[in-house]
Structure 1
Amino acid sequence: MPVREFSSSVPLWAKRIASAIYVERRRAGLTQAALASRAGVRQATVSQAENDPRSMRLDTLEKILASLDLTLASARRPH
């Protein structure tokens, strides 16, 4: 998997969650649109989750994570 680049202003916890979503989505062979459909959110929401999830609602973030069989706790671990 390619290394993700983030703005220096994105805190470590947000980088870890964003990376986990990106890596697991790619492992599952899903596009952002396919993951969005699975999670019941818009593709733009998945994009936000993969780039900077800081301002997202917790329930929305949890929907995306659950669609990838992840939890918030597991997503915060280094990937």
Structure 2
Amino acid sequence: MGDYERVRLVTLGGPGVGKSSIWIFLTRLGPQFPAMRRLSIATAHAFLIVYSLGNRESFELAKVFFDEIQEQRGDFQETPIA
């Protein structure tokens, strides 16, 4: 692992909002899609919730993802969420 610490960042968002584009930009290795969102939420160190400004439904879905994080993580107030 070298001289850095691994951080598990979970990206949540509706279809077509740009999650894959963000991951390609950040990693240049291509996106990774979590098979099980519940497990991903439970083990994440941070969250990135993505929505499209041109799609109201994707914004509503972002609120659902935030609610899921709150429900599943007792420490959500100490967990970075953007």
Give the TM-score, by structure 1 length: 0.28
- Structure with the larger strand share: 2
